[in-house]
Structure 1
Amino acid sequence: MGVKITSWGHFIPETKLTNSELSKRFNVTTDWILERTGIEERKYFSDGATSDMIVKAALNCIQQTDLSPTDIDCIIVATMTPDQHCPSTATFVHQKLGTKNAWGFDIMAACSGYLYALQLATSLINSNSYKTVLVCGADKMSSCIDPSDRKTVLVLADGAGVSLLQQSSTDNNIIDTICKLDSSHSSDISMIASGSKAPSTIENISQGKHYLRFESKTIFSTAISLMQIVAEEILSKNKLTFEDIDFIVPHQANKRIIETLAKKFDLPIEKFLINVEQIGNTSAATIPIAISEALKDEKLKGNEKLLLVSVGAGYTYSASLMNLS
């Protein structure tokens, strides 16, 4: 038995936040923003919550198959921007999609969320307990950033990407996934308020503690280092080299991180799937959106071997090898 990725789907909002708008807000030039982020515009969702973006992506995904929502056994939602703390965002996806035969839950691994969810879904299917799992990565980052905070506003955005995994007697698309956690610098990226440690009091909210903050100057270098470590580990474990990989799909944190990672690997930038320029950093959604969009645009033909690699707050970091065929 193996795990087949039956289809992909994504949703990208239409509302744009351009460098021109941000240059006026922060009194910098558009060239200054582009030079530091590689991002030209970010997409914001104003017509609902995280679950609404997931449902749009999921319907797109399901419509590519002969399946219906009632065929789904489990929904895994990777997000750091849930619709609300309780119940889970998976509950709202379940309700809106009509997946009456499924159970579901949320996980929070920040920008590594999709790969963490992929590992869980693969394990559930390999346990022979479930046959069809909807894996969702989605974040509405515009809901948790301070509009006056240049560090976060310049890069973060909204979107959803999903994949439908099924048990298969003939195919096995997912070769391996490694998930890791380095908690030694857990405060580098944080959102302090709204949890049990610092509830949503008037005082905490007035101090902006409910916003996501980038608190360290070493986030850039740490992200590159951890992605390099886990990418090289999974290749070594599976006796592969970069020459065996058709495309690398990195977390779309910003273009400068991806370009630096390419230099670390001594690889041409053309070997990396990149779409952050026109979308922004959608956290847990970046990797599935990148793959789904590349398949739709036929940049990917559906027969490639991919290396997926991510890093997120915590620091969570992960890598996955998959065959699209």
Structure 2
Amino acid sequence: MPDQKLTAAITAIGGYVPDYRLTNQELEQLVATSNDWIVTRTGIKERRILKDPEKATSDLAIEAINEVLRKKNLDPKEIECIICCTMTPDMQLTVTAAYIAWKIGAENAWGYDFTAACCGFIFGLTTAASYIESGRYKKIIVVGVDNMSAFVDYQDRNTCILFGDGGAAVLVEPNTEGLGVIDSKFGSNGYGRQLMNQKAGGSLKPATHETVEAREHFAYMDGKAVFKYAVTCMSESITTVMHRNNLTPDDIAWVVPHQANLRIIEAVAKEVGMPMEKVMLNIEKFGNTIAGTIPLCLWEWEPRLKKGDNIILVSFGGGFTWGATLLKWAYDPA
């Protein structure tokens, strides 16, 4: 009998969000907005914010990874690679993943930062799966994490209501039961750069006194344009993955969408014929944590997942980037 094809599966997950809750009522005191306006347009009621000025993205990631290590009783020296999916690295000119590995004692791991905006986690997960399927690696950590509050203009009511801080990490290991990462459909289009960006701070427009005074180091987004692209691209990605694998909405246990806007999520679900009862949501309490939203959903919903469940992860982000990944869940929660 031929050997079962080697796949790559999530075998543990850990998450972390800061304690501080920034509510819509607090935002009403900062900008011209209201709780009703925010909830109606986004579905967000509060978001977590990293308030400690001595902490950054790596601290969020380390908390999440340490939960994985505890759950698996895993020595960090067994980790072979760390992929840190983030748009908010601790510093320029240094690799956050390498710092994370050093801090947790993963002295045998190499690592790098994966920058793909809100698609970072699903792109990074598929990359890790390729490493595992090659037979070269057996234990890889993928962490989706962002400290977006550091880049939010709390004078701009169109963006400050959206973003929060947090992230989650998964352990990816080999599987011989046909479980784990099954298929992915990804896309990108550089046209989107003009619609979602941080204008200054990169090599195109380095920081100057003028760029700081012009508030060009904060997140910018054309919400209406992004909404249309997001619905179309996410819907097409889900449909493609289902068709390629002969699946219908009835065969899917869960869809895990990027938590950018509840109206986008509802429109995508309607477009692909997926009942909202099968759609994971945490946008109400965490907002948009960029690369953190999808793994944070898996972290919260882990007790409800069952071995063999068909799960579709789907996202859309700056760049533009978009895509969907089909998983067969590999374990029943302890």
Q: TM exceeds 0.5?
A: yes
Map residues 238-317 of structure 1 onto 2, 5 A cutoff: 238-295=245-302, 298-317=303-322
Q: Label 1:106 to 1:230 Cα distance change in 2 as closer, same or farther (>3 A).
A: same
What SS class does the counterpart of residue 33 from structure 1 fall into?
helix
What SS class does the counterpart of residue 22 from structure 2 fall into?
strand
What SS class does the counterpart of residue 91 from structure 1 fall into?
helix
For residue 120 of structure 1, the aligned residue among 123, 127, 152 is: 127
- Aligned position for 2:229: 222
Question: What is the CA distance between 1:170 and its match in structure 2?
Answer: 4.0
Q: Deviations over 1:83-119 (max 9, x none)?
A: 0012111021111111000000001100000011011
- Aligned position for 1:69: 76
Q: Is the 8 A contact 1:73 1:102 kept in 2?
A: yes
How far apart are the structure 2 equivalents of 1:192 and 1:145? Answer: 13
Q: Deviations over 1:66-98 (max 9, x none)?
A: 321110100001100000012111021111111
Map residues 137-286 of structure 1 onto 2, 5 A cutoff: 137-170=144-177, 172-215=179-222, 217-286=224-293
| 4+ aligned runs moved over 6 Å, structure 1 | none
How far apart are the structure 2 equivalents of 1:199 and 1:16? Answer: 33
What SS class does the counterpart of residue 71 from structure 2 fall into?
coil
Q: Deviations over 1:21-68 (max 9, x none)?
A: 112322333111111111110110123110000000000012111321
Code of the aligned partner of 2:50: F
Question: What is the CA distance between 1:271 and its match in structure 2?
Answer: 1.2
Q: What RMSD in Å do the two structures reach over aligned CA positions?
A: 1.4
How far apart are the structure 1 equivalents of 2:298 and 2:10? Answer: 12
How far apart are the structure 2 equivalents of 1:226 and 1:20? Answer: 33
Question: Aligned residues: percent identity?
Answer: 37
- Aligned position for 2:37: 32
Code of the aligned partner of 2:236: I
Q: Is the 8 A contact 1:44 1:142 kept in 2?
A: yes
For residue 46 of structure 2, the aligned residue among 32, 41, 66 is: 41
Length, aligned pairs only: 323
Q: Deviations over 1:130-156 (max 9, x none)?
A: 111100100001011111111111111
Question: What is the CA distance between 1:178 and its match in structure 2?
Answer: 2.2
Q: Is the 8 A contact 1:23 1:33 kept in 2?
A: no
- Aligned position for 1:84: 91
Code of the aligned partner of 1:110: A
Q: Is the 8 A contact 1:112 1:284 kept in 2?
A: yes
Question: What is the CA distance between 1:240 and its match in structure 2?
Answer: 1.4
Code of the aligned partner of 1:294: W
Question: What is the CA distance between 1:124 and its match in structure 2?
Answer: 0.9
- Aligned position for 1:22: 27
Residues 255-264 or 129-138, more deviating: 255-264
- Aligned position for 2:109: 102
What SS class does the counterpart of residue 91 from structure 2 fall into?
coil
What SS class does the counterpart of residue 205 from structure 1 fall into?
helix
Unaligned segments of structure 1, at least 5 residues: none
Using the size of structure 2 for normalisation, the TM-score is: 0.93
Q: Structure 1 residue 322 and structure 2 residue 327: aligned?
A: yes
Code of the aligned partner of 2:258: H
What SS class does the counterpart of residue 284 from structure 2 fall into?
helix
What SS class does the counterpart of residue 64 from structure 1 fall into?
helix
Question: What is the CA distance between 1:4 and its match in structure 2?
Answer: 2.4
Q: Is the 8 A contact 2:239 2:272 kept in 1?
A: no
Code of the aligned partner of 1:195: G
What SS class does the counterpart of residue 120 from structure 2 fall into?
helix
Code of the aligned partner of 1:155: L
Code of the aligned partner of 1:240: L
Q: Deviations over 1:170-201 (max 9, x none)?
A: 45311112221122232110012111111111
Q: Is the 8 A contact 2:38 2:44 kept in 1?
A: yes
For residue 17 of structure 2, the aligned residue among 12, 17, 26 is: 12
How far apart are the structure 2 equivalents of 1:323 and 1:307? Answer: 9
How far apart are the structure 2 equivalents of 1:77 and 1:312? Answer: 17
Q: Is the 8 A contact 1:4 1:171 kept in 2?
A: no
What SS class does the counterpart of residue 9 from structure 1 fall into?
strand
Question: What is the CA distance between 1:308 and its match in structure 2?
Answer: 0.7
Using the size of structure 1 for normalisation, the TM-score is: 0.96
How far apart are the structure 1 equivalents of 2:81 and 2:272? Answer: 37
Q: Is the 8 A contact 2:145 2:167 kept in 1?
A: yes
Unaligned segments of structure 2, at least 5 residues: 1-5
Code of the aligned partner of 1:285: G
